[in-house]
Amino acid sequence: MDGISYAALLFLVAVGLTLIFGVMRIINIAHGSLYAWGGYFAATLGLAIAKFGLSPGLALPALFVAALAVGVLLGSLLEVGLLRRILDKDPILQLLVTFAAFMVLEDLQRLIWGVQPYFVSEVVSQLGTLLVAGVTYTRYQLLVLPLCAIAVFLGLRWFLGRTPIGRQITAVTHDREVATAMGVNAARVSLLTIVIGASLGALGGALASPTTSLVPGIGAEMMVLSFAVVATAGLGQIGGAAIAALLIGISRAFAIYLMPELEVLVPYLIMVLVLLVRPQGMFSVAEARRI
Amino acid sequence: MRLRLFVGALVLLGVALPLAVPWLKTPFLLALSNGLAVLGVAVLIRAGQVSFGNAMFACLAGYGATYAARFWQLDALLLIVVGTALAALAGALVGLFMVRYRGIFFGMLNLAFSMMLFAILGKFGAYTGGTDGLRFERPAFGFVHLDRDGFESALLAVALLLALAAGWCVQRYYRSVSGQALAAIKTNETRLEYLGISAKRIFWGGYILAATLCGLGGTLFALTQGLVTPEMGYWVRSGELVFVAILGGSSHAVGAFLGAFVFEFMKLYAAALLTGMWQLVLGLILIVMVFVAPSGIYGLLSRLLGQRPRSVLKAR
């Protein structure tokens, strides 16, 4: 059960990463710090709500507001300031630029929020607990997190498959040049996708913030984990990301239960095993070789 | 020719300055060991690949040397061999797996491996000293026991020689068949395969070379400090290696050392002035470098010296 709530968080972050990759063909390493920023900002909002004596019912919506704020602000900043300008550069340089952005954001985060751990968990205690098969779970972890992930998954499927803008995103993901030739404004689509993807990353952080304490470095950890999910699934695969997140989340929960020392290693081991058998990930589609 | 003069002047500076100003010895040593590791990363960049985990080989070599120093009380020169050999071996093993991946997969898988090493070193505190790391006594140097100052001087001399040798070897390697083929992995791997050359085997060679150089750098680093910590293999360190490789320029071996020296002194001064904003500064400089001078300090210098820089990192 712990595994499922963890998988839900992983999925949210990973799907944002994979969406952005789809449109830009860039793995945005700064995605990890979006997760961290989402978490910190949500914690700050939570503290503010508690401080000004506002209705505690606001705490849950505040998480979403925080995620959206971070996603829109940082996402568009990243796109307009950096990603858009490096599309035609060497892949190494693209990687380096997002890595540099990550370093900058990580330090800014440390300057703003300091290095002390933050722990704001009013939301969790408010929602109470549930007893399942003799084990007590918080309602937040058992219901809110998985429901959010499922909602995002279904919402994305509907958005990308059924709405005009979503279809434009799919078209750009498939082939940027052809889509542009067909009259899709690829630049606008990219901006939109990145804002959505960044918001999802920040949402992961915001939702995670009540369940863990926020310390510097969570961005890096989550970045690698969500990349493990995305790579296991195959780059750009949303459905695959859901399955891979579940796989990794649940096996990690088992590992915590069985061999706590190895907990950190499990996601990487799974990724390495999958990539040994299928170097492009489980659900990847064959791509034409360019000669 | 000018380049050779230039390198000669640099080496002379490397010998003369620490003799004149003794406190410079440690930063010079650190810069040299760092430069060796950066040279390793630069070899990979030659193949168009960035690894965000190569510090793991430096870390592994450092720990290997530390264990050897603690249990067998080996000579410092032997420790260098042990650490480097360990890194080469690890590179050969991990490389078997890594050569199948390119681009972001390569970078992140390296990162994943280095995070695993970092986690293991931190978790099994009983054997690895946990996050505090391990200390070791200053070993004998060439069967002579030296005081701290003498030890550093001797180490500096060895490091300088090793750096020269490594730089020369890497330049030779770049000009050899395998080195050219390595660069072709970046330009067009499919065509390389059409020529009947196994890109994977070539890349494996490059990967082992990179790991070995990182190991050599890591061992020297550990010997300088007398201490190893898991921090040596943290992803931030790997990121710094990549950063310095870009800063110095990866089209010539000299670039790695140029970058390392600039970086070391930047760190010395900037870290004091801008505590806590170190990564931020690095990140901003990196972004500026990518846009303004993608061929690094070496590229800028060789333009000054009237040579056309052969940038490995120009846009497609």
pLDDT at A125: 64
Contact A272 B103 (CB under 8 A): no
pLDDT at B316: 38
Half-sphere exposure (CA, 13 Å, Cβ side) for B284? Answer: 6
Residues 6+ apart with CB under 8 A from A119: A43, A212, A213, A214
Q: Which has more confidence, B118 or B210?
A: B210
Mean pLDDT check: name the lowest of A49-58, A125-134, B84-93. Answer: A125-134
pLDDT at A193 over 70: yes
pLDDT at B138 over 90: no
How does pLDDT run across A266-282, given as a tens digit for each residue? 887 788 788 777 777 77
pLDDT at A148 over 50: yes
Q: What does the block give as tokens for B91?
A: 């590179």
pLDDT at A290: 47
Q: How far is residue A35's CA from residue A209's CA, in Å, rounded to a whole number?
A: 10
pLDDT at B232: 84
Q: Give A65→chain B minimum CA distance, Å.
A: 27
pLDDT at A137 over 80: no
pLDDT at B204: 93
| A262 CB neighbour count, 10 Å cutoff | 15
pLDDT at A201 over 90: no
Nearest by Cα to B166 from B253, B263, B51, B55: B253
How large is the ipTM?
0.73
Amino acid identity of residue B29, one-letter, is: L
pLDDT band for position B276 (cuts 50, 70, 90): low
Q: Which has more confidence, B252 or A133?
A: B252
Contact B107 A95 (CB under 8 A): yes
How does pLDDT run across B7-61, given as a tens digit for each residue? 777 777 777 776 667 777 788 888 888 899 999 999 998 888 888 888 999 999 9
Give contacts of A 97-126 with B, CB under 8 A. 97, 99-104, 106-108, 110-111
Q: Which has more confidence, A116 or B89?
A: B89
Enumerate the residues of chain B whose CB falls inside 8 A of the CB of residue A93.
290, 294, 313, 315
How does pLDDT run across B140-152, given as a tens digit for each residue? 777 777 777 788 8
Enumerate the residues of chain B whose CB falls inside 8 A of the CB of residue A89.
290, 315-316
What is the overall mean pLDDT for chain A? 78
Mean pLDDT of B169-180: 88
pLDDT band for position A132 (cuts 50, 70, 90): low
Q: Give B314→chain A minimum CA distance, Å.
A: 7
How does pLDDT run across A221-266, given as a tens digit for each residue? 788 888 888 888 877 777 788 888 888 888 888 877 777 767 777 8
Q: How far is residue A83's CA from residue A77's CA, in Å, rounded to a whole number?
A: 9
A285 touches chain B (CB under 8 A): no
Q: Are A145 and A64 in contact (CB under 8 A)?
A: no
How does pLDDT run across B58-88, given as a tens digit for each residue? 999 999 998 888 888 888 888 889 999 999 9
pLDDT at A287: 54
pLDDT at A12: 86
Q: Are B213 and B43 in contact (CB under 8 A)?
A: yes
pLDDT at A184 over 90: no
pLDDT at B238 over 80: yes
How does pLDDT run across B82-113, given as a tens digit for each residue? 999 999 999 999 999 888 888 777 887 888 88
pLDDT at B315: 40
Contact A101 B108 (CB under 8 A): no
Q: Which residue of B has its CA nearest to A289?
A: B190
Enumerate the residues of chain B whose CB falls inside 8 A of the CB of residue A88.
315-316
Enumerate the residues of chain B whose CB falls inside 8 A of the CB of residue A275.
100-101, 105, 109
Task: Find the length of chain A.
Answer: 291
Q: Give B167→chain A minimum CA distance, Å.
A: 23
pLDDT band for position A26 (cuts 50, 70, 90): confident
Q: B228 pairs with which residues across the strands?
A: B134
pLDDT at B38: 92
Q: Give me the percent of chain B exceeding a pLDDT of 70.
A: 92
By the 10 Å C-beta count (0-12 exposed, 13-18 middle, 19+ buried), A70 is classed as buried
Contact B286 A220 (CB under 8 A): no
